[in-house]
Amino acid sequence: MTRPLAPSASVPRLSPSDPGFIAVHRAIGEIAAGRPVVIRDGLQALLASPIDGGPVLSGRLAITGARAGYLGLDAAPTVVEAEPDRATLAAIAMADRAQIASHMRGGSIASAAAELAKMAERVPAMTLGDADHAAPGTLACHAGDVLAFRSALAFTQRPIASAPVPLAAGATANVTAFRNAIGGTVTAVVVGDVDRGALVRVHSACVTGDILGSLKCDCGAQLRLALGRIASEGGILLYTAQEGRGIGLANKLRAYALQDKGLDTVDANIALGFHDDERDYAAAGNVLTQLGLKSVRLMTNNPTKAAGLESQGIICEPVPLIGPVTPDNERYLATKKSRSGHHL
């Protein structure tokens, strides 16, 4: 259930100046704020609202294929019919299990609604209503543009600022912020002169592990180990904004709550309607290419990360990065090994 690898096409379908790109960017902001948007596909148009905070438009709820499969339905985007009650619909979207009265296969609008919710870091479930009932000024976008947006955005990273930063790990790094067309950043921490075969760590942001020192994961330990090696040997750390394997901090905390009920890290993500790993490595591949690298020694235990970069034309020689095993992260690490194929 890992998110499919992004295409490595050099010319994305959308560009930041396209009206469709701009419409999707604005729609993401509306969904993040809990306001409905209209999604069009051909002659069909529906109003879509996030279940976690937006108005309930009807008893029709668009859910992802991952969530549908978890509930025992066909693993495809699905529209569920239920009482137009927030608690009932939220249970269908987020509870460990839920009772469903009826359902039907969802189309491109249902898929686009879920993708918009993901990009807004909402739960990927949206109530659907008649577009004719949209309030004046409600934003609209096309389903096809929504589904093309993520891969198009990855190719818009550009360096915007750089400065030397002394590291506690014992070296001075040149730190460069790469910003994309909607303001998201990838931070490149470079020590020494890097060339072919450079030591590289692509690290996903983890507030709980990197900043709070959480013992539930090994992220903070891996970050410190990687910085120590780069400080002593030279190399690059790319810090990417893909919290919780790409589902965002709020959804990661929801997944933690499900783990406390007995689910492992994979099933908790799937139960919320996500792939077990939603991260995309196209932006990281684009930044490495701009830094002049086509071949790297990649500090990772995750074969999917190496495959994601290789799909962008970056040749990877995996280098293990093993953090400490503790009573708090033992189950988490065992799940990464047994269910996600990590080399631990």
Instruction: Indicate the length of the chain as a whole number.
Output: 344
Which strand (E) or helix (H) includes residue 309? helix 303-310
* DSSP codes of every residue in 242-253: -HHHHT-HHHHH
* DSSP codes of every residue in 11-29: S-S--TTSHHHHHHHHHHH
Could you say which of 60, 201, 245, 279 is catalytic? Answer: 279
Cα–Cα distance measured from residue 159 to residue 238, given in angstroms and rounded to the nearest whole number: 13
SS3 200: strand
Contacts of 7 (CB under 8 A, 6+ apart): 151, 311
Cα–Cα distance measured from residue 31 to residue 191, given in angstroms and rounded to the nearest whole number: 39
Could you say which of 145, 210, 267, 277 is catalytic? Answer: 277
The question of whether 277 is a catalytic residue gets the answer: yes
Nearest to 157 by CA among 176, 177, 178, 175: 178
- Phi/psi class of residue 200: alpha, beta or left (left: φ > 0; alpha: ψ in -120 to 50)? beta
Give the pairing type, strands 198-204 and 295-299.
parallel
Using CA of residue 263, residue 268, residue 273, residue 279, what is the dihedral sign?
Answer: negative
What's the DSSP call for residue 155? T
Distances (CA, A) of 105 to 20, 64, 67, 81, 117: 26, 10, 13, 11, 19
Name residue 49's beta-bridge partners: 127
Catalytic residues: 277, 279
